[in-house]
Amino acid sequence: MNGTKSTVAEEHKLLPAKELLKALAPYRQPKLRRSIFELFITIIPFIGFWVAAWLSLSISYWLTMVFSVIAGGFLVRFFLIQHDCGHGAFFRSKKINDWVGRILGVFTLTPYDIWRRSHAIHHSTSGNLDERGVGDIDTLTIREYRNLSVVRKVLYRLYRSPPVLFVIGPAFQFLLRNRLPQMFNSDKRDYWISAMGTNVSIAVVAAIFAYFMGLGAFLAVHLPITIVAASIGVWMFYVQHQFEDTFWECEDKWQMYEAALKGSSHYDLPAPFRWLTANIGIHHIHHLASRIPYYRLPDVLRDFPELIDIRRLTFRQSLSCINLRLWDEENKRLVSFAQARAIAT
């Protein structure tokens, strides 16, 4: 498959782009009762495991951590509902989508309006070598890496190391970096309102909890939940785009249809984890038609089985993606540092 010039439609015998998008259009309609039900079955268990984590503090902090990890999984679902709201996919009303997204942003520590804009840019530029830098994981080509100074090579290696990428980085992003609009047009009034409004709301909610249960107990429970959720979220995002035969092209060769199906994986997780991560592993279809609510993505796979094996990754296969660091422009694949060294200059 590496280096092939065939299109994804030819490889997998798909309908042409326009026809497939037209066929997927009916799935874009959210169902109000289902959306409300999805909120309910996410919020109630989250509260339950959060309270269990708090009550278990007097028994064993190891037990608290168990409950915190589970609660962190439900916080990931919070983020993914917020994510669907950002795409206008969870409710038919834009106003309801936006306000539900903003409220959830208080708990996910993510200013909704800033994130929504950043994520929209990610969707419109994913896989475009000339448009990297917003809403994605920094990825260099082999040539770009070789042209770096020694210091910048060390920094890039550090950034792409698992401890930074999946633990330190997510904690920094959600706990600290999200507190300011650290992106395009950061002087724009709307972005500051989004960031500061979220910050004030977080402070109020945290103060209420700290007042009733004590600051130490609140941090002992909620900080691990947040860090677990952040790490899971970044891992999911990483695997969705950082796999060997992903898609990157320069602007003149970049096509959104190819980028969606070739540059986004179908992360085929076991059913419980697929549910907990709100089907976001069906990422190739999501990038192809982002207005489809996450609870309707399995319907698409059922009705279009030819989409199942496109860039499909199992959990075991996804672990090998951790070592991929650089884009090999000649062979059209992500490679490790060791593989990059073996490639002739």
Two tokens, residue 11: 């490889």
* Cα–Cα distance for residue pair 130/133, rounded to 1 Å: 9
Is 192 within a domain?
yes
| Amino acid type, 136 | D
The answer to whether 166 touches 237, Cβ cutoff 8 Å, is: no
Domain assignment present for 3 = no
Q: Which residues of the chain have pLDDT under 50?
A: 1-4
Environment class of 171 (CB within 10 Å of its CB; exposed 0-12, middle 13-18, buried 19+): middle
What pLDDT, on the 0 to 100 scale, is given for residue 2? 45
pLDDT of residue 345: 56
Instruction: Show the domain range for 222.
Output: 8-342
Could you tell me if residue 157 is inside a domain? Answer: yes
What pLDDT does residue 4 have? 47
The confidence score (pLDDT) of residue 181 equals 83
Q: Is residue 280 part of a domain?
A: yes
Looking at residue 308, its pLDDT comes to: 94
Interatomic CA distance for residues 100 and 17, integer angstroms: 32
Residue 2 forms part of a structural domain: no
Q: How many CA atoms lie within 13 A of 93 on its CB side?
A: 7
Per the structure, the count of domains in the chain is 1
pLDDT at 344: 64
Q: What integer pLDDT is reported at residue 163 of this predicted model?
A: 96
pLDDT of residue 7: 61
Residue 118 lies in a domain: yes
CB 126 within 8 A of CB 263: yes
Within a domain: 166: yes
